[in-house]
Structure formats: C-alpha cells, structure tokens
Amino acid sequence: MLYWWLKYVFVGWWLRLIYRPKVEGLSNIPKTGPAIVASNHLSFSDSIFLPLVVPRKITFIAKAEYFTGSGVKGLFSRFFFTGVGAIPVDRSGGRAAAGALETGKRVLAEGELFGIYPEGTRSPDGKLYRGKTGVARLALESGARVIPAAMMNTGELQPIGKKLPKIGRVHIKIGEPIDFSRYSGLAGDRLVERAITDEIMYELMDLSGQEYIDTYAAKFRNAAAAESPQKETPAAS
C-alpha cells in the first residue's frame, strides 16, 4: 500500500513533473504475469525512476542494512526502501547471490515483476560492464522472460556521490521480452548461463549505446582504486 501511495500521491507526481521521464518501449512490459526486468545501472536513482514509469510494481532487492539502521536516518532509510518496494537481503558471508535468487523466484512465482541489475553494482564510469550469471539462473529456474531496460542518462543527472539528481529529463528505453525457454532444464550449466547473460548484456548495450567492457564493474573499480597514486607524505624538514 505504501508503494502505491508514494508512487501516485506523495512523491511520484512531482518527480514526473520535474523530471518529465521519456520512455520508449513501455508496451513491452506485459500487463500480467511474471517477468524479470534487467537493467543497466548508472545511478542510485535508477531504482526510483524505473519503477516510476512502469505501471506495474517492480520489486528490487536491497541490502538488509538499509532496513535496520537507527535514529532519524535509519527511520528514513527504512521508510524509503519499504516504500519503493525493495526487499531486504543479507549480503554478508557470500549469501548475497543465494538470497537474491530465492527472493526473485518467490516474487516471480507470485506472478510479479522482479528487477535486477546484472552488473551487480553501479557503473563507475558510465560504461556497460560484464553481467553476473544470476539473472540467467533466475530466468532458467523460474521460466520467466527477461525484459531489458536501459537507463540512458541517470548517471549524468545523479553521478556517484551526489545525493540528489539534478534537474533534467530522464530517458529510459525498454526492449522486447527475451524468451529463454529453449534452454529449459539447463540451469546450473555454466556455459549456458554465461551465454544467456551475455545475450542480455548485448541487448542492453544495443538499447543504451554504452561502450561494453568485458570485465566485472566491481573488479574494475577495485583495480582502479589499487592503482591510484597515494598522496606523498611530506618529507620531514
């Protein structure tokens, strides 16, 4: 209930007024039935604007810590992520992938839309990075079709580190659903899951026009951080 109140009464109307989202391919979202909405990830606001423009509820996962904070900040975080339809998942101790998969399967089994970012994290530089195969495993185990959704300019409106997006028109492209039923029964086959994931990422590249980098975004970010020159300590006089 809170999701719909925020979307249509408290927040959604002024977001639409200020950011005037332009959406191409909205008719590719089915009116009923389960589907996986796989999106590139440029900005924190992707999880706000994508659900805003899709008539049906999209359920994303979020770190459990967002729901357990204390004080005013913790209360606001809990209210916000609950309001946007996010489900808390424990991402510690290697449990993130399994938790996300089980959550996604449950949402899809209820005939709903499940949102996922195959890159696993926000792009550090606006390029499209290698997708993780969890989206393929989810598609194979649930039988749901995958709908690619490209966020076009949210990274420009809200770069990493910026708390609020600057004023500008949001642009989103939604592709046609992809049916992977031809791979039915092959969940767990690494080659098949990689092929499916790569096909999804190709569709996202085609929709978004982003340059594709065949490495994981998190790995690229960590390598870049390790190579950054350390500030030299002034020599003692």
For 82, counting Cβ atoms within 10 Å of its Cβ (0-12 exposed, 13-18 middle, 19+ buried), the class is middle
Query: How high is the pLDDT of residue 95?
Result: 62
Query: How high is the pLDDT of residue 235?
Result: 46
pTM, rounded to two decimals: 0.89
Query: How high is the pLDDT of residue 96?
Result: 63
Are 53 and 174 in contact by the 8 Å Cβ rule? The answer is no
Query: How high is the pLDDT of residue 32?
Result: 97
Under 8 Å CB-to-CB from 12, ≥6 apart: which residues? 6, 52
Are 31 and 145 in contact by the 8 Å Cβ rule? The answer is no
d(CA 102, CA 90): 12
- What single string gives the DSSP state of each residue in 95-114? -HHHHHHHHHHHHHHTT-EE
- pLDDT, one tens digit for every residue, the chain (237 residues): 678 888 888 888 999 999 999 999 999 999 999 999 999 999 989 988 999 999 999 999 887 777 787 787 777 777 777 777 788 877 655 566 777 889 999 999 999 999 999 998 999 999 999 999 999 999 999 999 999 999 999 999 999 888 889 999 999 999 999 999 999 999 999 999 999 999 999 999 999 999 999 999 989 888 877 876 654 444 443
In Å, how far are 116, 119, 148, 210 from 205, measured between CA atoms?
16, 12, 10, 5
Both tokens assigned to 33: 């039935």
Residue 3 burial (CB count, 10 A): 16
In the numeric block, the tokens 């997708």 are attached to 131
Phi, psi for residue 81 in degrees, rounded to 5: -70, -30
